[in-house]
Chains A and B, each alone.
Chain A
């Protein structure tokens, strides 16, 4: 049976992790490779790297990081942030990423989804959508510190949540959550699927940073409107929240950052809870140092 996926997300600036795990055993907590390996050993199903580098040499830096991750971790990973053209996609994918994620670039130019899908296959194209519930007062300048974010706004967060409010609609935001586009989230999700997106990474800006749980209404509305997998993002504070997004929200996967980064919960604990609730998850064997495992494999030959 297809397992529900748990996907940790790492923010990277100039090839260094700026929001990521703070485990003591890591020699260098800023090293994306060390963090990727740590999550891999814990049983993460995939990884997402959000690049927030804002410098002229960003392409080389990102490419180098992607290459190193691909050489050391043998699970799928997605790279997002600043990808605007087919050429940008090609560079990242050729360096070893399995998928790229686009957000604002897809809103500005929806045809980019179609040309990305026909060049690299739908499976490589993730469209990230930053969503916010309509009919509420807007805050001004959101997403501070997240300039150039393309994968979801995890910078701020609102206290309120609309739990219990049935139905409703959501609006797509671009530019790391700073610009309201007027586009309806569910309609946009349907459109990106038609254009050839392979997955949707759906971030609730309302829930993001609150740690009160995912926006289940939003997640479910999108998951029911499309047939491609939906990855829920924004709001996880407990392991139960992950389960709710998969059960009630009907998501295929959950993305989480802070609950894993600060060592509150491990991926293993998350999977055990999901399994206890009857959700299919991939439980990996007790963690082996990758080097030992490889030696063993080699000896068997």
Chain B
């Protein structure tokens, strides 16, 4: 079972429905026991980094994510959910993240293209990753964001996207993964990625990507 962590931000219904559409057993929940018992976790996130981080902490669910990461349980961060996995976010002040990957979240430069980035953009694969099985290089996904990740460790970067600058759009370290786009809104490619996540075990990951 996949638990989509519900900590009161954004509309998570489509995430749940997208998993159901690919035949995965997923549910939206904030129940600590259910989350602990599930095989995989999805950490969504919409809106400002600081607000998401605060709500996650106040709900105590941040501890469950950290605990799961420690136990190598597969976790998938979506949009701000990916950003939260890094050290800190610089959106309306500096806010600590979960620190599962090294780096910070900063605003797109003023001099570049329109901010927020809204729409379909491509990924360029940097490393093999089971999440991307069956998804060709250059595939389009739906992005909505004004802030991007500056990863300190390039080994964590699975794919990048070009929006004036090239930035990480898929990151992974061990069983912790995340995507900057919205797979639940990215049509067939997005559904494929979610199906891949649903089928990935920690073992499958290490055998496929190493």
Report the number of A-B residue pairs with Cβ-Cβ less than 8 Å: 111
- What CA separation (Å) do A294 and B46 show in the bound complex? 27
Mark B residues whose CB is within 8 Å of A. 10-11, 13-14, 17-18, 21-23, 46-48, 113-122, 133-134, 140, 142-145, 162-163, 182, 184-188, 190-192, 195-196, 198-199
The SS class assigned to the A binding surface is loop
Mark A residues whose CB is within 8 Å of B. 1-5, 40, 45, 70-71, 74-76, 93-98, 120-123, 198-199, 227-229, 252-253, 282, 284-285, 288, 293-294, 297-298, 300-301
* A75-B142, A98-B185, A297-B195 known; A121+B115 contact, CB < 8 A: no
- What CA separation (Å) do A98 and B145 show in the bound complex? 14
Contact call B187/A75, Cβ cutoff below 8 A:
yes
Question: Closest approach, in angstroms, between the C-beta of A95 and any C-beta of chain B?
Answer: 8
Contact call A228/B11, Cβ cutoff below 8 A:
no
- What CA separation (Å) do A4 and B140 show in the bound complex? 12
Contact call A74/B184, Cβ cutoff below 8 A:
yes
Contact call B186/A2, Cβ cutoff below 8 A:
no
Contact call B118/A74, Cβ cutoff below 8 A:
no
Contact call A3/B140, Cβ cutoff below 8 A:
yes
Closest partner residue, chain A, to B79 (CB atom): A123
Contact call B121/A3, Cβ cutoff below 8 A:
yes
Contact call B199/A301, Cβ cutoff below 8 A:
yes
- What CA separation (Å) do A36 and B17 show in the bound complex? 16
Contact call A282/B185, Cβ cutoff below 8 A:
no
Closest partner residue, chain A, to B145 (CB atom): A123
Contacts of A293 in B (CB 8 A): 188, 191
Contact call A227/B114, Cβ cutoff below 8 A:
yes
CB contact between B11 and one of A74, A75, A96, A298 (< 8 Å): that residue: A96
Closest partner residue, chain B, to A230 (CB atom): B114
